[in-house]
């Protein structure tokens, strides 16, 4: 048996799939159910998966599939087939690149596979990573940018790494971990209080955090004062 909110979400996803051919975004689901945060949507989707009503396609963004509906408890037909029967289809803008009016429409090209990562906020002095966390913020990242391990995203504040191609407002993709090779750009926690994105250099018993901007100075610490919280593996930028 489903709760009222679980039922509402399942019906909303099913209607969205039938009318558009693709699943709704978390923001659309949050608005439809009048919830204050996306974390509630995550919990509802997980519960529907566990009960066999929904299925998520791995490594793809916005790829939910309704398996069955509570009214019938029967297997759900693919969204594309249902939409075709209803006379509706995906909202696709097609270009007439010299094709004749009678030419058959070509299938829509599949977009690059992506996964949703938590976006923890702007990386700035004075706050550890844990304090930046916001479970409601997610960002879709191409799978090609990721490898093994757990990842998260951070928005960059400031210009201290601009000579490494990392600009104010960029989003960096971080692979979580407490170790990094000498010379890597890392998220470092200093004195359990300040988090910063810098290049890591080990010099004897000292740890240096190097900026990539001549206007900033390299900071040197004892080995017990710096903890690596992740290593830079990718970067996203909006123009």
CA-to-CA separations, 118 to 85, 99, 174, in angstroms, rounded: 38, 43, 11
Does the annotation mark 198 as catalytic? Answer: yes
Going from N- to C-terminal start, the domains of the chain cover 4-85, 114-236
Predicted confidence (pLDDT) per residue in 137-179, tens digit: 788 888 777 778 888 888 888 888 889 998 888 889 889 999 8
Q: What pLDDT, on a 0 to 100 scale, did the predictor assign at position 132?
A: 55
User: What is the CATH class of 4-85?
Assistant: mainly alpha
CA-to-CA separations, 105 to 27, 37, 73, 92, 207, in angstroms, rounded: 31, 39, 35, 11, 60
Q: Which has more confidence, 123 or 223?
A: 223
3-state secondary structure of 163: helix
Q: What pLDDT, on a 0 to 100 scale, did the predictor assign at position 99?
A: 47
Does the annotation mark 39 as catalytic? Answer: no
Hey, do 4-85 and 114-236 end up sharing a CATH topology, with the first three levels equal?
no
Q: What pLDDT, on a 0 to 100 scale, did the predictor assign at position 88?
A: 39
Tokens 């979400």 belong to which residue? 9
Q: What pLDDT, on a 0 to 100 scale, did the predictor assign at position 56?
A: 77
Predicted confidence (pLDDT) per residue in 36-93, tens digit: 888 888 888 888 887 888 887 755 556 788 888 875 444 444 444 444 444 433 333 3
Closest CA to 154 of 181, 195, 121: 121
Q: Which has more confidence, 79 or 116?
A: 116
Q: How many CB atoms lie within 10 A of CB 53?
A: 23
Length of the chain: 239
Catalytic residue among 23, 30, 38, 198: 198
Catalytic residue among 160, 184, 206, 227: 160
Residues 6+ away with beta carbon under 8 Å from 100: none
Are the C-beta atoms of 184 and 231 separated by less than 8 Å? yes
Domain 114-236, classified CATH 2.10.109.10, yes or no = yes
Q: What pLDDT, on a 0 to 100 scale, did the predictor assign at position 58?
A: 59
Rg (CA), the chain: 23
Q: What pLDDT, on a 0 to 100 scale, did the predictor assign at position 130?
A: 54
């Amino acid at each position: 048996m489903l709760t009222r909110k679980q039922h509402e979400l399942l019906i909303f996803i099913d209607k969205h799939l039938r009318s558009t051919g693709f699943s709704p975004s978390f923001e659309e689901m949050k608005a439809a159910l009048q919830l204050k945060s996306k974390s509630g949507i995550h919990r509802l989707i997980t519960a529907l998966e566990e009960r066999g009503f929904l299925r998520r396609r791995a490594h793809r963004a916005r790829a939910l599939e309704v398996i069955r509906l509570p009214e019938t408890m029967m297997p759900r037909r693919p969204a594309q087939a249902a939409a075709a029967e209803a006379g509706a289809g995906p909202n696709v803008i097609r270009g007439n690149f010299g094709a004749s009016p009678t030419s058959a429409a070509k299938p829509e090209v599949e977009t690059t596979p992506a996964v949703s990562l938590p976006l923890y906020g702007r990386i700035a002095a004075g706050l550890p990573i844990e304090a930046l966390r916001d479970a409601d913020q997610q960002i879709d990242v191409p799978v090609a940018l990721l490898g093994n391990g757990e990842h998260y995203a951070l928005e960059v504040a400031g210009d201290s790494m601009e000579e490494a191609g990392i600009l104010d407002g960029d989003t960096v993709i971080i692979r979580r971990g407490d170790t990094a090779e000498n010379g890597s750009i890392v998220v470092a926690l200093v004195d359990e209080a300040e988090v910063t994105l810098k290049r890591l250099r080990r010099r004897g018993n000292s740890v240096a955090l190097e900026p990539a901007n001549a206007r900033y100075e390299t900071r040197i610490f004892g080995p017990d004062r710096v903890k690596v919280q992740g290593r830079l593996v990718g970067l996203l930028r909006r123009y």
